[in-house]
Amino acid sequence: MSEDMRVYKTKRNIERTFLELLAKHPFDKITVQMITKEALVNKGTFYRHYADKYDLAHQVAQNTLDRLAMHVLANTEVAADEAGGHADTNRYMRTLLATFDDVLPDLVLLSNIDLPDVNIRVSMTRVICDGIRPHIKDGRELESLETEAWVIAQLTLAYPEYMEDTEKPLDLFGYIVSVHQASELFLPWLSDGSDMRAAHEAYYDATCMLPSARPSWLANATHAGQAPRPAPARGETTRGETAR
């Protein structure tokens, strides 16, 4: 066996062991001693490849994101070929959902670690955008691509939590479809700016948020020709406020 192959197998063993421990313990409770004991290697071997457990986590995160990028690239090429080069963003996103099964568990585990140089959610969004952007010709779709990629990243990383919180969880595809259907329920509401404004005002009133802490658009902007809500008369109160 060549030296390169031995190094590869040793690192793969250590990194897989680290992920297995991460599924059972918080990162701050995992020690190098725990990793080496479970991986059946000595500390000298560990430190030959990693400076510490943070370096190990960083390398595992980068390797996992590289795997995701390879899957995204391969699947977007397949989607483009099947559509004759005319696939839209939705088709690419549907194709990408098939890629996540292989890397999703590792990404979820790693997303719970505060790494200074790697943000799993941001990096996942970037990987999706970079894989799809070269194939999109419609300018309007390009404008919304980053937002859609961000939403997909958030939803997929939250999927394991959804599985724990529900009695009869759906598979990943069904979960995404259900989120899409739920989102469509908001479209009629969002289409009327005055309704959206009123709903936001009601929310901020209910949470007792001071006017100074509310978004500037809510305090200043008008929607659909509607004037800003007038201030209450002296002695009158709004929800969440107390008369003086």
One DSSP character per residue, 160-182 reads HHHHHH-SSPPPHHHHHHHHHHH
Output the six-digit token pair for 137.
Answer: 């010709």
Judge whether 149 and 90 are in contact, CB under 8 Å: no
Judge whether 15 and 50 are in contact, CB under 8 Å: no
Rounded Cα distance, 207 and 69, in Å: 41
pLDDT at 220 over 60: no
State residue 189's pLDDT score.
60
Output the six-digit token pair for 23.
Answer: 């599924």
- Give residue 197's identity as a one-letter amino acid code: R
State residue 237's pLDDT score.
43
Rounded Cα distance, 90 and 92, in Å: 5
Residue percentage of the chain with pLDDT more than 70: 63
Q: Which of 71, 70, 41, 77 is nearest to 56 (CA)?
A: 41
In the chain, where are the structural domains located? 1-50, 54-166, 186-244
pLDDT digits (tens, 9 = 90+) for 65-93: 998 888 887 777 766 666 665 555 666 66
Q: Which residue has the tokens 């724990």?
A: 164
Structure confidence at residue 52 as a pLDDT band (50, 70, 90):
very high
Output the six-digit token pair for 150.
Answer: 């961000």
pLDDT digits (tens, 9 = 90+) for 233-242: 444 444 444 4
Q: Which residue has the tokens 């197998």?
A: 9
In CATH, the number for domain 1-50 is: 1.10.10
pTM: 0.67
